[in-house]
Amino acid sequence: MKTKTLMGAMVIAGAALSTVPVLAADPATNLLSAMCSGCHGTDGSSRGPTIPSIAGMNAEYFVDSMKAFRDGTRAATVMTRIAKGYTDQEIEAMAQYFAAQKLVRFPQSFDPKLAERGKRLHENYCEKCHEDGGMKSDEAGVLAGQMMPYLRFSLDDFLQGRREIDKKMKAKVDDLLAAEGKEGLEAVVHFYGSQHDK
């Protein structure tokens, strides 16, 4: 009798657990987040030259980006297709997981002179939104330590109209280009790329 009662309790418990969303599982083993590691690196720190690191990304920015990919309002090579497979709840769960991860910045080649110039330009044009030398941002992604080819492609997307640019950023980029030309943008890229030991 006791065995039947125990088995019954286990069946009921199992049925109850099956109604709990997968998102309640330990995020470290959550398949939703693990699916991203193939491209974005283990726990969101990318080694791919054209793929951004998403570890430590502001959760709200992550959600907005994924929804924009899913809705087709933000252009991408593959993310527009991948994002369509996730619900709002799943995107929110991934956002919380990656926001809690520590970003690992990998060394990459950069020009020290350009990086020094880029540091000055960052302080003049970018620091207000991309704080602490591009280390954090509540409104956008982390720039410091991102792979330089990815940063170049992203800037080109903004400049060519393939990606929406807000008025504040457009004004700053236009001012930087007017004063420093495209070499100024490249200097900023080298500054961000130089930050791998933070």
Q: For residue 113, which of 176, 197, 190, 195 has the smallest C-alpha distance?
A: 190
* Tokens of residue 16, six digits: 């109850």
- Confirm whether 148 is domain-assigned: yes
CATH of the domain at 183: 1.10.760.10
Asked whether residue 27 falls in the same domain as residue 91, the answer is: yes
- Confirm whether 3 is domain-assigned: no
- Confirm whether 13 is domain-assigned: no
**pLDDT (0 to 100) of residue 54:** 93
- pTM summary value: 0.78
Q: Of 99, 122, 146, which residue sits at a domain end?
A: 99
Q: How far apart are CA 99 and CA 91, in angstroms?
A: 12
The pLDDT mean for the chain works out to 83
Q: Of 99, 124, 153, which residue sits at a domain end?
A: 99
- Confirm whether 183 is domain-assigned: yes
**pLDDT (0 to 100) of residue 32:** 74
* Tokens of residue 137, six digits: 């941002």
Asked whether residue 118 falls in the same domain as residue 159, the answer is: yes
CA geometry: angle at 19 spanning 98 and 60, to 5°? 25
Q: For residue 174, which of 184, 162, 189, 187 has the smallest C-alpha distance?
A: 184
What domain range is 44 assigned to?
Answer: 21-99
Q: Of 40, 72, 99, which residue sits at a domain end?
A: 99
**pLDDT (0 to 100) of residue 24:** 41
pLDDT single digits (tens) 119-165:
999 999 999 888 888 887 666 778 999 999 999 999 998 898 888 88
Q: Who wins on pLDDT, 170 or 18? A: 170
Q: What mean pLDDT is predicted for residues 106-127?
A: 95
Per the CB < 8 A criterion, the answer to whether 192 and 144 are in contact is: yes
Q: How far apart are CA 108 and CA 92, in angstroms?
A: 31
* Tokens of residue 33, six digits: 């987040």
- Confirm whether 12 is domain-assigned: no
Show Cβ contacts of residue 118 under 8 Å, excluding neighbours closer than 6 positions.
186, 187, 188, 189, 190, 191, 192, 194
Asked whether residue 31 falls in the same domain as residue 62, the answer is: yes
- Confirm whether 45 is domain-assigned: yes
- Confirm whether 7 is domain-assigned: no
Asked whether residue 131 falls in the same domain as residue 161, the answer is: yes
